Amino acid sequence: MASTSRADYDAALERARTAFASWRAVPAPRRGELVRLFGEAVRRHKPALAELITLEVGKIGSEAAGEVQEVIDICDFAVGLSRQLYGLTIASERPRHHMLERWHPLGPVAIITAFNFPMAVWSWNAALALVCGNPVVWKPSEKTPLTALALQRVLESVIRDFGDAPAGLAQLVQGARPVGEWLAEDARIPLVSATGSTRMGREVAVKVAGRFGRSLLELGGNNAMIVAPSASEDLAVRAITFAAAGTAGQRCTTLRRLYVHESRYDALLARLRRAYASLRVGSPFAPDTLVGPLIDRAAFEAMQATLAAARAAGATVHGGERVTVAGHEAGYYVRPALVELAAPIEASERETFAPILYVFRYQSIEQAIDGNNAVVQGLSSSLITQNLSEAELFLSAEGSDCGIANVNIGPSGAEIGGAFGGEKQTGGGRESGSDAWKAYMRRQTQTVNYSSTLPLAQGVKFDVE
Ligand code: NAD
């Protein structure tokens, strides 16, 4: 698909700016109504949109449908939110004064998205930004232009029929890194929400900070799970296989490092190897497939290079080879890999966006938590245990240092109700539920004096004749 030209980009930004002037004055619950209607339209088109995700990204049917459901869920959330953009009233120290904290719309919000959630990530941002009074400008991954075009068309048709929504409210610009760079550098955009690799986030953050804009970064993960002595093996095996091999290992929250207590290691590894060998790798259109293809050849080559590096560092590798799928010979299908390690190596400390699970033994929960925290990324983490003390330690200030910490579920598959995001080199941003909406608004502290005198704060005297 052709990249948006600079002239067309500038025209899109001007349309968004014009739209902001009127959209910010539309009452928030009315803005929520637009998002409600958009969610309804997505419900109607759910099967077609899901099929397009499968076609373009290779997600299996149920995961593609789940992604569209996430779009619907965040719309529902945002509709409620549109009546709950609460500020505070604050006690003033001066007589007959009152103080308020109010939240106002910010301006056009740029949304740069990764290939692996080609609809959901945009919707987490767009649904909130729209009810907060902001136009949106979307630059999808250059690998997923079609899903973006389809979802954008659905929103545009709802905007067209709405009445008091300005025409330029939602813009789509297509292209690779250069178009993303235009957005990062553009002073017309007060907030750039960028999802992708840590490399990308580092470049965007510097550019946006250079012009004193705000960035909301959702970057790479290197997520761990701890399997404790009391863990249910059935639960652990299901949680591990979905989190590590689901979506062909191409989720930011994919399980990449597994810490197994030494008392459970041999039995669990044997069971995992059997489960991995039986995973159905194949066409994402086949109803019984669990693992579809990698996004492209570069992803396959990166996976093979990482496995070679692990072998060279002394690891034992099970699986990871290319799988030929009849009728899809050009696709890059792989058997998910299990990699046994005695200690972390360079490869296990970085994110390879493919189904590779590094497995370690541990002796104490403290040692396992240290392992969980010993990487530069800080997105998601989980612990499988029946032991309350271990669970509480893991969730405490001395526990996981990630943005997401789960007990008795895997690290992936978040719900939209919670704030989503991670610490350290995952970027620190929070999207989706809870109070993530505050990133899309500007806060204003207001003081009103309804007396006829002018007392100054802190008892300061400044009397003039
Ligand atoms: P990527 O970094 O290659 O690209 C992501 C987006 O950024 C694309 O739209 C791309 O065109 C754009 N881009 C790249 N360089 C840019 C630059 N210098 N300036 C502006 N824009 C730029 O990532 P990808 O391969 O599409 O996606 C996989 C990565 O995304 C993984 O690291 C994964 O963990 C991460 N991810 C994170 C989250 C999260 O919420 N934390 C969610 C999904 C994916």
Q: pLDDT digits over 46-59, tens only?
A: 999 999 999 999 99
Closest CA to 48 of 68, 62, 63, 34: 68
Handedness of CA 102, 108, 112, 113 (dihedral sign): positive
366 CA distance to ligand 1 middle (Å): 33
In percent, the amount of the chain with pLDDT more than 70 equals 100
Structure confidence by residue, pLDDT tens digits, 58-106: 999 999 999 999 999 999 999 999 999 999 999 999 999 999 999 999 9
Is the distance from the beta carbon of residue 299 to the nearest atom of ligand 1 less than 6 Å? no
Distance from residue 329's CA to the centre of ligand 1 (Å): 27
Ligand 1 atom nearest the C-alpha of 252 is 34
Q: What single string gives the DSSP state of each residue in 249-309?
A: G-STT-EEEEEEETTTHHHHHHHHHHHHHH--B--TTSTT-SB---SSHHHHHHHHHHHHH
Cα angle 91, 92, 94 (rounded to 5 degrees) comes to 150
Other Cβ atoms less than 10 A from the Cβ of 267: the count is 11
CB of 193 sitting under 6 A from ligand 1: no
Bridge partners of residue 261, in order along the sequence: 362
Q: Of 203, 196, 194, 142, which is closest to residue 173 (Cα–Cα)? A: 142
- In degrees, rounded to 5, the angle at the alpha carbon of residue 241 between the alpha carbons of residues 411 and 65 is 75
**195 within ligand 1 shell (Cβ under 6 A):** yes
In this prediction, residue 344 carries a pLDDT of 97
Q: Which of 179, 133, 124, 145 is nearest to 16 (CA)?
A: 133
As annotated, the active-site residues are: 218, 252
Taking residues 181-191, what's their average pLDDT?
Answer: 98
CA–CA separation, 169 and 166 (whole Å): 6
Cα 114 to ligand 1 centre (Å): 4
Contact predicate 256/222, CB 8 Å:
yes
- Whole-prediction pTM: 0.97
Judged by phi (left if over 0) then psi (alpha if -120 to 50, else beta), residue 251 lies in beta
* Token pair listed for 431: 């999207």
In this prediction, residues 177-197 reach a mean pLDDT of: 98
**Beta strands 97-105 and 441-449, pairing class:** antiparallel
Handedness of CA 372, 373, 377, 382 (dihedral sign): positive
Q: In this predicted model, what pLDDT tens digit does every residue of 303-332 receive, in sequence order?
A: 999 999 999 999 999 999 999 999 999 999
Cα 42 from chain centre:
20
Burial status of residue 48 (CB atoms within 10 A of its CB: 0-12, 13-18, 19 or more): exposed
From 197, 219, 222, 300, the mutation candidate for ligand 1 (largest count of ligand atoms within 8 A of CB) is 197
Q: Which of 3, 200, 208 to mutate to test the pocket of ligand 1 (most atoms within 8 A of CB)?
A: 200
353 CB near ligand 1 (under 6 Å):
yes
Mean pLDDT, all residues of the chain: 97
Nearest CA to ligand 1 atom 39: 218
Q: What is the pLDDT of residue 55?
A: 97
pLDDT digits (tens, 9 = 90+) for 208-245: 999 999 999 999 999 999 999 999 999 999 999 999 99
pLDDT digits (tens, 9 = 90+) for 398-427: 999 999 999 999 999 899 999 999 999 999
- Cα–Cα–Cα angle for 262, 265, 269, nearest 5°? 165
Predicted pLDDT of residue 331: 97
Give me the pLDDT at residue 408, please.
Answer: 98
pLDDT at 434: 97
Percent helix, strand and coil across the chain, each to the nearest 5: 45, 20, 40
Looking at the predicted structure, is the pLDDT value of residue 1 above 90? Answer: no
- State the pLDDT at residue 2: 87
Among protein residues, the one with the nearest Cα to ligand 1's atom 12 is 177
Sign for the CA dihedral angle at 10, 11, 14, 20 comes to negative
| CA–centroid distance, residue 115 to ligand 1 (Å) | 7
For residues 376-385, give the mean pLDDT.
Answer: 98
Residue whose entry in the numeric block shows the structure tokens 């039986």:
278
The identity of residue 49, as a single letter, is L
Alpha-carbon span 126 to 436, nearest angstrom: 12
Residues 6+ apart with CB under 8 A from 259: 224, 225, 226, 227, 360, 361, 362, 368, 371, 372
Q: What is the pLDDT of residues 256-308, one digit of tens each?
A: 999 999 999 999 999 999 999 999 999 999 999 999 999 999 999 999 999 99
Question: Residues of 13-31 as b/e, b for ≥16 C-beta within 10 angstroms?
Answer: bebbbbbbeebbebebeeb
Tell how far the Cα of 350 is from the centroid of ligand 1, in angstroms.
15
